[in-house]
């Protein structure tokens, strides 16, 4: 039996995509690969809802997070970072490593940001160069309102940089309409792909900053990436060829179903999971319904049930993997991923097993 991944990434991969991953290798400096790259870019633009090119890089999501930092800013420049969990904190860590002047807007895990805090930062800092925010905070299940921040930055020189690594596909995201300046995404979440490649798109406003940045970069130099794509439809460094080929097929599947239709389906799935887990005695970690995203449902309990033992039992006995907490919530929460091919039937099957475990161990 194959392992069923009910986590917020990586996800199980459709057969059509698996078949491409197993094909014979091609070379990345020849026309067949060039055509794949060009076709993939056009499909990604539809998924990002942008007229800008979407560049494919061989790295993890953290790699494109670092790409956004080192390409759009210079040492000592002031940026604000919305931190509502583990991955908002990661932006803080990256920016500090590269010597940026960081204003950290930190919130309790399970909460979204306060728009008035962002308005205050903008009004009090005329030298603010950028705002970083996570779309879907994978460590908590919070979905941040990106559009509202874009309304604040659209007529300014402030860049809006968004991590949509786990938010893309299953939650609404519109690059152009929401006035986003840089968005970074990863293959292993909503894209139905294995880990290994990531995507980045930048606005015209961000491109101006690109050529002013003085932060060190080599592998992650977007100027080189853009040059290679524009001139050759290639990547500057050896890419993950099988995953890029599979990405073209995965995008076909997503676009055929329709991005809006996928979001409707996953909204229904997420709400169903929320209702059913509460029947099992779990509490929802994200209290504000407006801040709950479709990527995952995060829960906790008020009794003494050992959640780590529950996860291990479900994984070892049934080959079903669910995610636990990160950081200070390790062992204290469960994170049920709602990405990819998962269905209500899959969750019904899981919840029967969890109910049996709770009855026998609580």
- What are the angstrom distances between the C-alpha of 283 and each of 76, 277, 287? 43, 8, 9
- For residue 158, which of 77, 82, 63, 55 has the smallest C-alpha distance? 77
* Contact between residue 182 and residue 201 where contact means Cβ atoms under 8 Å apart: yes
Q: Report whether 335 belongs to an annotated binding site.
A: yes
DSSP letter string over 291-360? Answer: GB-SSEEEEE-SS---HHHHHHHHHHHH-EEEEE--GGGTTT-EEEE--TT--HHHHHHHHHHHHHHHHH
For residue 48, what are its two tokens?
């990002």
Residue with tokens 């980045």: 200
Question: Do residues 105 and 149 lie in contact, with contact meaning Cβ atoms separated by under 8 Å?
Answer: no
Query: How far is 353 from 313, CA to CA, in rounded Å?
Result: 10
Contact 297, 141 (CB under 8 A): yes
Q: Which residues contact 275 (CB under 8 A, 6 or more apart)?
A: none
CA distances from 126 to 96, 121, 149, 358, 362 (A): 20, 9, 17, 55, 56
Which pair of tokens denotes residue 176? Answer: 């152009």
Task: Report how far residue 243's alpha carbon sits from residue 254's, in angstroms, rounded to the nearest whole number.
Answer: 16
Look up residue 283 and give its two tokens: 């509490």
Binding-site residue numbers for substrate are 335
Binding-site residue numbers are 335
């Amino acid at each position: 039996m194959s392992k069923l991944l009910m986590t917020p990434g990586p996800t199980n991969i459709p057969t059509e995509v698996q078949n491409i991953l197993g094909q014979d290798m091609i070379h990345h400096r020849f026309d067949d690969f060039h055509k794949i790259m060009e076709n993939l870019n056009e499909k990604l633009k539809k998924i990002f809802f942008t007229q800008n090119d979407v560049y494919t890089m061989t790295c993890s999501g953290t790699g494109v997070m670092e790409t956004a930092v080192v390409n759009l800013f210079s040492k000592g420049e002031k940026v604000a970072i919305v931190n509502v969990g583990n991955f908002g904190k990661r932006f803080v860590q990256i920016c500090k490593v590269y010597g940026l002047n960081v204003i950290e807007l930190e919130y309790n895990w399970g909460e979204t940001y306060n728009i008035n805090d962002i308005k205050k930062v903008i009004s009090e800092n005329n030298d603010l160069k950028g705002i970083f925010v996570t779309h879907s905070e994978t460590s908590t299940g919070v979905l941040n309102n990106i559009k509202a921040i874009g309304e604040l930055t659209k007529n300014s020189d402030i860049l809006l940089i968004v991590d949509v690594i786990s938010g893309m596909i299953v939650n609404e995201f519109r690059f152009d309409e929401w006035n986003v300046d840089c968005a970074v995404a990863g293959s292993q979440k909503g894209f139905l792909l294995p880990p290994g490649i990531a995507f980045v798109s930048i606005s015209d406003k961000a491109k101006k900053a690109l050529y002013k940045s003085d932060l060190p970069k080599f592998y992650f130099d977007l100027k080189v990436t853009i040059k290679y794509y524009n001139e050759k439809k290639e990547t500057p460094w050896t890419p993950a060829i099988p995953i890029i080929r599979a990405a073209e097929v995965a995008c076909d599947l997503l676009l055929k179903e329709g991005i809006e239709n996928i979001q409707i389906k996953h909204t229904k799935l997420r709400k169903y999971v929320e209702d059913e887990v509460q029947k099992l005695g779990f509490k929802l970690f994200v209290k504000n319904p407006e801040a709950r995203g479709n990527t995952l449902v995060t829960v906790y309990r008020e009794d003494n049930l050992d959640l780590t033992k529950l996860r291990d039992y479900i994984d070892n006995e049934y080959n079903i993997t669910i995610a636990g907490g990160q950081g200070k919530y390790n062992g204290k929460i469960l994170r049920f991923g709602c990405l990819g091919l998962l269905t209500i039937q899959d969750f019904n099957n899981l919840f029967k097993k969890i109910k049996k475990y709770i009855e026998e161990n609580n």
